[in-house]
Amino acid sequence: MSSETIVIRNAAWIAAWDGSGHRYQRDGDIAFAGDTIVQVGGRYEGAADRVVDGSRRFAMPGLVNLHAHPHTEPAYKGVREDHGVPEMYDTGLYERMCAFVLDADGRRAGMEMAYAELLLSGVTTAVDLSGPVEGWLDCAGRSGLRFYIGPYFADARWKIDERRRLRFEWDEAAGRRAFEAAVRVMEEAERHPGGRLRGIVFPGQIETCTESTLRDAAAFARQTGRPLTTHISQSKVEFHEIVRRHVKTPLEYAADIGFLGPDAILGHAIFIDGHPDIRWRGGADLGRLADSGASVAHCPSPFARYGQAMDHFGRYRARGVNVGIGTDVAPHNLAEEMRLAILLARVMAADYRAVDTAEMFRAATAGGADALGRADLGRLAPGAKADIVLLDLDHPAMRPARDPLRTFLFEAADRAVREVFVDGRLVVENGRPLHLDPEGAAAQLEESQARMLVEAPARDFLGRAGDDIAPHSLPF
Ligand SMILES: [Zn+2]
């Protein structure tokens, strides 16, 4: 943690927090002492150790990425974008996860690259949901980002049978050991010097954990004051699996076993009973979700690639559901994800008023922070953490900056990010991450991806080559 007082002098535009929402301020200072903001707007008259010229900058709070898998998803670049399975209602999730397994070197390279991408798209807090791997916490700590570390555990593994049905290989003893290992990783994260790493309790999927594991995970999260997350209502296959097991929707089941609550973050809550692709038994899920106080981690990209979408962002918000934004897949570019989330909400609603720039910005900042129980994140206000992103108003993609937030979301995205502070510490300077080496990691990721594809026949349920599961986009 820095102990300096830094002043961003005369920022041309500021997205300041007024206590209930973001609003523009012009030509003002932002001052922070150590990790905490002391002043937003006006002229800061106190002493400063360092002054940053803000006259050609738009200052905004760092974005919160509420759901990401930075270790493995970069290895699916060029593999998953056109991949789907018609027999599984188009989702390619299960086939891909069964056939393509990345080695530890590849996962370390993936995180190095993804963390850089997160910072460069303006993210200062990320929820990293990953299988524990050596070096994870060192890289997360070194990156300068603020993390919620979610080590994966589950009682069952997915398996696809010869008729393309999703099956489950249960091993509850292994699941219990993974839960205990996850607790140790979270505790280690929270002891990490710098204090920017916290744990989030992450039973992997609603359908791969036993009821007792889900109950224990929720109880453990509540006893220890950690947030709680899982994958739920993320595919039609999963929806029907839970209906078959319990004659309840996944959200109804989660509510009935006490999993839902204000500390629960649901990735992705798309296939709920009122969704037009589901339409099952009355459509009570949205109200159930809102009444529980749980938040949704909304990640439109992976679903859009299968031709699927939440129905719809504006409806969830109107019913009172807190929604934050995540990337889930590569690219780890939250700015682009926000743009897609706006556009898809408008298409699904057939109404441009379904969501506007201000509402989407709120979701990606205060919405994500609130989901994590953090009133000190996602806001530029005295007392909040000094997690600040400066966008370059001189970049051609930002000009004209008549409304710089709109220009960032709809046009410039990550190209405009110039400086990033986390906890008052500069971690991106002149558009470069200071503590990460994505170029150095790229060769390792390429090597590990090639191995992952070569090893696919031994894992795939039909013994197919990687290039047959996910063919190239153009013929050779
Ligand atoms: Zn996910």
Give per-residue pLDDT as tens, 165-191: 999 999 999 999 999 999 999 999 999
The verdict on 194 and 175 lying in the same domain is: yes
Gap from CA of 32 to ligand 1 centroid (Å):
34
Gap from CA of 231 to ligand 1 centroid (Å):
6
End-of-domain residue from the set 329, 347, 371: 371
Gap from CA of 255 to ligand 1 centroid (Å):
20
Give per-residue pLDDT as tens, 358-387: 999 999 999 999 999 999 999 999 999 999
Residues 335/413, Cβ–Cβ less than 8 Å: yes
Gap from CA of 69 to ligand 1 centroid (Å):
6
Gap from CA of 332 to ligand 1 centroid (Å):
12
Gap from CA of 96 to ligand 1 centroid (Å):
13
Gap from CA of 129 to ligand 1 centroid (Å):
7
Give per-residue pLDDT as tens, 11-41: 999 999 999 999 999 999 999 999 999 999 9
Gap from CA of 372 to ligand 1 centroid (Å):
17
pLDDT of residue 211 exceeding 60: yes
Gap from CA of 37 to ligand 1 centroid (Å):
32
- At 54, which helix (H) or strand (E)? none
372 vs 263: CA distance, rounded Å: 7
- The answer to the question of residue 85 being in a domain is yes
pLDDT over 70 percentage in the chain: 100
- The answer to the question of residue 304 being in a domain is yes
Q: How large is the average pLDDT for residues 122-133?
A: 98
Gap from CA of 208 to ligand 1 centroid (Å):
14
The verdict on 98 and 85 lying in the same domain is: yes
Gap from CA of 292 to ligand 1 centroid (Å):
21
Strand, coil or helix: what is 282?
coil
Gap from CA of 310 to ligand 1 centroid (Å):
15
End-of-domain residue from the set 371, 398, 418: 371
Gap from CA of 176 to ligand 1 centroid (Å):
21
The verdict on 225 and 329 lying in the same domain is: yes
Gap from CA of 65 to ligand 1 centroid (Å):
12
Residues 106/444, Cβ–Cβ less than 8 Å: yes
Q: What is the dihedral of CA 71, 73, 79, 81, to 10 degrees?
A: -170
In this predicted structure, what is the pLDDT of residue 282? 80
- The answer to the question of residue 376 being in a domain is no
Q: How large is the average pLDDT for residues 141-154?
A: 98
The verdict on 44 and 185 lying in the same domain is: no
- The answer to the question of residue 290 being in a domain is yes
Gap from CA of 226 to ligand 1 centroid (Å):
19
- The answer to the question of residue 86 being in a domain is yes
The verdict on 74 and 45 lying in the same domain is: no
Gap from CA of 301 to ligand 1 centroid (Å):
11
Among candidate residues 185, 155, 193, the one with its CA nearest the CA of residue 172: 155
72 vs 274: CA distance, rounded Å: 32
Reported confidence tier of residue 1, pLDDT bands at 50, 70, 90: low
- The answer to the question of residue 473 being in a domain is no
In this predicted structure, what is the pLDDT of residue 3? 82
Work out whether the CA dihedral 267, 336, 103, 109 comes out positive or negative.
negative
The verdict on 402 and 259 lying in the same domain is: no
Q: How large is the average pLDDT for residues 413-429?
A: 98
Number of structural domains in the chain = 2
Q: The domain that contains 212 carries what CATH number? A: 3.20.20.140
Gap from CA of 267 to ligand 1 centroid (Å):
6
Gap from CA of 414 to ligand 1 centroid (Å):
22
The verdict on 142 and 9 lying in the same domain is: no
The verdict on 309 and 195 lying in the same domain is: yes
Gap from CA of 264 to ligand 1 centroid (Å):
15
Q: How large is the average pLDDT for residues 47-71?
A: 98
- The answer to the question of residue 229 being in a domain is yes
pLDDT of residue 299 exceeding 70: yes
Residues 408/335, Cβ–Cβ less than 8 Å: yes
- The answer to the question of residue 475 being in a domain is no
Return the ∠ at Cα 67 (arms to 65 and 72), rounded to 5°. 110
69 vs 209: CA distance, rounded Å: 19
Q: List, in order, residues 6 or more apart from 85 with CB less than 8 Å away.
A: 91, 92, 94, 95, 164
Joined tokens for residue 255: 């509510």
The verdict on 149 and 200 lying in the same domain is: yes
53 vs 60: CA distance, rounded Å: 15
Q: Long-range contacts of range 396-402, CB-CB < 8 Å, 24 or more positions apart?
A: 398/58, 401/13, 401/58
Gap from CA of 399 to ligand 1 centroid (Å):
35
* Angle between helix 438-454 and 104-120 (nearest 10): 140
Backbone angles phi, psi at 429, to 5 degrees: -130, 130
In this predicted structure, what is the pLDDT of residue 281? 86
Q: Long-range contacts of range 402-410, CB-CB < 8 Å, 24 or more positions apart?
A: 403/357, 404/13, 404/58, 405/15, 405/24, 405/58, 405/60, 405/357, 405/358, 405/361, 406/357, 408/58, 408/60, 408/122, 408/335, 409/335, 409/338, 409/339, 409/342, 409/357, 409/360, 409/361, 410/339, 410/357
DSSP state string for 295-334:
EEEE-HHHHHHTT---S-HHHHHHTT-EEEE--BSS---H
* Angle between helix 104-120 and 136-143 (nearest 10): 20
Gap from CA of 117 to ligand 1 centroid (Å):
17
Gap from CA of 40 to ligand 1 centroid (Å):
35
Q: How large is the average pLDDT for residues 243-248?
A: 97
pLDDT of residue 287 exceeding 80: yes
Gap from CA of 328 to ligand 1 centroid (Å):
5
Q: How large is the average pLDDT for residues 117-124?
A: 98
Among candidate residues 297, 359, 360, 361, the one with its CA nearest the CA of residue 329: 297
Gap from CA of 300 to ligand 1 centroid (Å):
11
The verdict on 238 and 102 lying in the same domain is: yes
End-of-domain residue from the set 323, 340, 371: 371
State the residue range of the domain holding 402: 5-61+381-433
The verdict on 10 and 155 lying in the same domain is: no
The verdict on 100 and 166 lying in the same domain is: yes
Q: The domain that contains 10 carries what CATH number? A: 2.30.40.10
Instruction: Name the average pLDDT for the chain.
Output: 97
Gap from CA of 291 to ligand 1 centroid (Å):
24
Joined tokens for residue 14: 């500021």
416 vs 430: CA distance, rounded Å: 10
